[in-house]
Structure 1
């Protein structure tokens, strides 16, 4: 999830653990702890694109990391804070560290929660930025700030924020199930023979959903809003995996395919090859759009070494997408 959401979650969890004993400092340290797992993004400055993608939401987003570092952080903070209970601090850091990846596991990217196991847990029920999850949570957290440490109202506000956010997160599973059902019905009705399908919410909401559908030679992408009145339409995108040629044997290409779970297409523009990760969709709702959210140019040097370079996004595309999403959300 986005940084603000993780800060809010961390602060609320910190308050739940130590709020009665240390007041607002519990929220402060909870917010700090809630951002620590995302420090893995700095790996992109020290390694190649593929390795950085593998590292992101890996070790730092695992239960192992939380267990290992919670007592270390707890001990360090107890050295200079007036509250000296190492166990109390350790519990704060543990719960704030571990709830971060648990929340991230609900997004499309997922987390390597059970590191060192390679599999990522990705429920794909919520977008990385969802105002319906964050804003009510934030409002209750702000109310907590203005309450005295031992007042029942402070506990009530914090619990309400946690209950509402958790309830919404559970609701997204039901919404995903309903969207899945509609996509499956549409595929059957349109007599589309498919190999696999995955669904996820469109950006910033859980009313509009998208589906990636794998067939033998192409992928289909469709959208469904709970406000739709017309049948679901699917756009086709050829796999073009053959364009990789001998590059398919390269280790880095194989790693990239594993990262995207096999959901990718290859496009060729002006004698340049591009790798498109389908899991995160497109920056446009227009028919036959090719500007994928995550698109990488595949380059090969004289030694045959393969590199992936993410293409630069046009900010205007994102602005237009927001407008198009709002229109599409209201039904087809």
Structure 2
């Protein structure tokens, strides 16, 4: 998730293991250690646009590394600042607990996190919350600030409880959306080879459905609310950009072919040719609208330059019209189908 959420969650978690006089030290150390794994964004290259994608949420997010990160953060603060009268084992406890939250919260999203590296390179994604969700983040931040200001860890502890309740609601919402998605595929006479349901931007009400059947991805959206009937938004289908599709287009054992393999791993296999952009291979997991087949990002291929890296491009629509349509869908109002 975003750095503010990660820092606040690390701080709030540290409040569970601190005493009242330690509150500010615990929150500060927990926040820094909770955000520290995202320093992997510094791993980048102007020559290789996919390097940052490849290493974000990689080894720094592994569960086994969280204690190491916490111990380092605690040691740095013990050595560099004025906390020499505080026992190292207490500082380390706050930092380790804070760091341990990072990978777990990221795994709750659909981006993919290498929690089990190096034992496994599986990109864990539980798909129960959006990468950015203000309903999750705002109470967490406010209660953590109050805990720091008044030296009352209780408020940060309440924040953790609220976050766990919200994640539990996300699990329930996802289960409802999955049930709808399976029924939708059955109604079309499809037996999906793979099916995924992911929250749309900044909410757990509106869900993006993507399933694969006979060489095509089918993209739709559903709005689910407790005690209410699901509301369906009809989408479109696109052809899968498979390994065979790539082999027919790109020479093997080239930089370009390797980049496609790397992008396939990053996108968990959900690749397709973007509409109206035949040289762009998009990541179908994400779109501005949950019923859209226009990707948020993708790689542009140039088969005439097989030994050159791909370019990584974004296709966001930050216009007021775009957010208005998304907001109407979240509210459950009818919207015009996309072209």
TM range (shorter): 0.7 to 0.9
**Match runs of 1:301-316 below 5 Å:** 302=305, 304-316=306-318
Relative distance call for 1:259 and 1:292 in structure 2 (3 A) is same
CA 165–300 in structure 1, closer or farther in 2 if over 3 Å, else same: same
Note the 1:23-102 alignment, pairs <5 A: 23-45=23-45, 48-79=48-79, 80=81, 81-102=83-104
For structure 1, the residue ranges without an aligned partner over 5 or more in a row are none
Shift of 1:300: 4.8
Shift in CA distance, 98/296, structure 1 to aligned 2, threshold 3 Å: same
Query: Match of 1:191, SS?
Result: coil
In structure 2, the partner of 1:121 is 124
Indicate how the Cα distance of structure 1 residues 277 and 314 shifts in structure 2: closer, same or farther if over 3 A, else same: closer
1:76–1:301 distance in 2 versus 1, CA, 3 Å: farther
Q: Equivalents in 1 of 2:149, 2:258: separation in Å?
A: 55
Q: Which residue of 1 aligns with 2:268?
A: 261
Counterpart Cα distance in 1 of 2:203 and 2:183: 22
- Equivalent pairs, count: 321
Q: Secondary structure at the match of 1:101?
A: helix
Aligned residues of 1:38 and 1:57 also touching (Cα < 8 A): yes
User: TM-score, length-normalised on structure 2?
Assistant: 0.86
Question: TM-score, with normalisation over the residues of structure 1?
Answer: 0.87
| Deviation for aligned residue 1:290 | 5.0
Correspondence for 2:197: 199
Alignment-derived partner of residue 323 in structure 1:
324
* Alignment partners' CA distance in 2, 1:314 and 1:201: 17
Distance 2:275 2:132 in 1: 31
- Cα distance change of structure 1 residues 326 and 5 upon mapping to structure 2, 3 Å threshold: same
1:230 positional shift? 5.5
Deviations 1:208-264 (A, max 9, x none): 111111111211111001266655524111225465324273233222222222211
Q: Structure 2: any 5+ residue segments left out of the alignment?
A: 335-339
1:127-142 to structure 2, matched below 5 A, reads 127-142=130-145
